[in-house]
Amino acid sequence: MKLLEASPIRASALKKKIVDRTAVVGVVGIGYVGLPLAVEKAKVGFDVHGYDRNPIRVDQIKQGLNYIRDVDDRELAEMVESGKLSGSTDFSSLGRCDCIVICVPTPLTANKEPDISYIKNVANEIVKYLRPGQLISLESTTYPGTTEEVLLKILSQSGLKVGEDFFLSFSPERVDPGNARYTTKNTNKVVGGVTSACLDVATCFYQQTILNVVPVASPKVAEMTKVFENTFRAVNIALVNEMALLCDRLGISVWDVLDAAATKPFGIMRFDPGPGVGGHCIPLDPFYLAWKAREYDMNVRFIELAGEINWTMPYFVREKVIRALNAQGKAMKNAEIFVLGVAYKKDIEDWRESPALKVMDILRKDGARIDYYDPHVPSFTDEHGEMWHSIPLSKEVLERADAVIVLTDHSSLDYARVVESARLVIDTRNATKDVREGRTNVVML
Ligand code: SAJ
């Protein structure tokens, strides 16, 4: 009964501070997840401290300079100017925060195993300053069990009791970079608490800025929900990618098939094939689940198979380029290739894990000479440490290329002009679907 007696008093005290906005919020990891969350919390009146190892990001926050596309520049500047939002690389002030949200990366190691070192490093900082009355909420996508088997273990070294002294939850981020319709505020938020008091406090915390909070039975359920969501996408993208491979052999357009299938008014959901799968979620998160499943003597074959198929797509693009050049009596070696779009998906500036980089690396190893244009990516550094720069899109550049390859279908490009000027267009994203004229020189994935 002691546990229950203690936690309602402490839980209600923290909830009161949350509701009256006197609770101080700390967001660790102010990237594409943490910064939108920090701004939303500041906008409703919380004092918010952003923590990051990256001094450049912290300086940008201090100057009120936005670096995340989905955050409104003016709102960020206002929150910083009013003193509601600040940034720091010094974790020693974490003790002043009543609610700490962890939004750090969860990458894979070179051999595709979970790397939760960022989470562990943050936990080892938080535990130094952990005190009664704090809520800690993990948002980084990770395998089921991380919150209770890893994070709780580290925080308990403080001697404080979870659910009694401090509160611990998992609430997956559901950020769709570039999605103007679904934002941090109106995307339903799943929350799992280590104890009922933890769930109660965490739900109250998120309800202050998110329209619909969905409590679930445990942190494991919340962790599993998120990796399932991304596995769902990875598997369905792989399915349409495999259909693209088969349609190529059948000599039919996979795009015609998918357009026709999409006319079914129920029981189908549109996914599109492409040059591969990029970003910091879909290519990575399912492998967190596959790794954990092996601990329970299970091989989640859908995930492994989806990975295999999605990884082959850059090589399939290479095959299409070779065949298309060959049809024009050209070799890949010394071919002038002009790439349109290097971001990992349309209308965003993020090129991390982008399949375009893989395609360009493969083609260059085949001896092609490559330039690119991307209105959102002025430059990037490839895996060999070489810097690439976007070159201006012009009729001359399009005419000079032996092949123009659309790897990211940014909306701002005039694809009719591309098709009109280029002698060969390889379209891996169906970007030219509305172009009627000159399609004889367009090769579709
Ligand atoms: N892709 C395809 N075909 C498709 C859809 C996507 O080839 O039909 C490719 C994209 O071009 C991209 C990659 O897959 O390279 C991932 O795209 P994505 O939009 O599925 O993934 P993210 O990482 O931009 O954002 C996703 C969220 N996306 C959506 O729900 C639409 C969601 O899964 C997560 O909330 C988010 O990752 C996250 O942070 O986990």
Q: What is the pLDDT of residue 7?
A: 61
Q: Kindly state whether residue 287 falls inside one of the protein's structural domains.
A: yes
Residue 240's identity, in one-letter code, is V
Q: What is the pLDDT of residue 222?
A: 98
* Same domain for 137 and 259: no
Q: What is the pLDDT of residue 438?
A: 86
* Same domain for 242 and 127: no
Q: What is the pLDDT of residue 1?
A: 43
Distance 285 CA to ligand 1 centre (A): 11
Ligand 1 touching residue 175 (CB < 6 A) = yes
Q: What is the pLDDT of residue 176?
A: 84
Q: Kindly state whether residue 424 falls inside one of the protein's structural domains.
A: yes
Distance 131 CA to ligand 1 centre (A): 38
Structure tokens at 259: 């357009």
Structure tokens at 28: 């660790």
Closest ligand 1 atom to 178 CA: 24
Ligand 1 touching residue 34 (CB < 6 A) = no
- Rounded to the nearest 5°, which phi and psi values hold at 404? -110, 125
Closest ligand 1 atom to 177 CA: 24
Beta-carbon neighbour count of residue 264 at 10 Å? Answer: 8
* Same domain for 302 and 166: no
Ligand 1 touching residue 230 (CB < 6 A) = yes
For atom 25 of ligand 1, the residue with the nearest CA is 176
Q: How far is CA 237 from the centre of its chain?
A: 15
Q: How many residues in the chain?
A: 445
Distance 367 CA to ligand 1 centre (A): 31
pLDDT in tens, 188-229: 999 999 999 999 999 999 999 999 999 999 999 999 999 999
For 383, the domain range is 231-444
* Single residue among 217, 244, 260 that ends a domain in this structure: 217
* Same domain for 208 and 292: no
Within the chain, which residues score under 50 in pLDDT?
1-5
- Tokens 């690439």 locate to 388
Enzyme catalytic residues = 281
Distance 180 CA to ligand 1 centre (A): 14
Number of structural domains in the chain:
2
Q: For 169, how many CA atoms within 13 A lie in the half-sphere containing its CB?
A: 30
**What's 144's domain CATH number?**
3.40.50.720
* Same domain for 317 and 435: yes
Q: What is the pLDDT of residue 6?
A: 54
Tell me the C-alpha distance between 222 and 368, whole Å: 46
* Same domain for 186 and 298: no
Q: What is the pLDDT of residue 70?
A: 85
- The structure's pTM equals 0.92
Beta-carbon neighbour count of residue 418 at 10 Å? Answer: 24
Structure tokens at 394: 């012009």
- Tokens 């279908």 locate to 409
Q: Kindly state whether residue 372 falls inside one of the protein's structural domains.
A: yes
DSSP 216-256: ES-HHHHHHHHHHHHHHHHHHHHHHHHHHHHHHHHTS-HHH
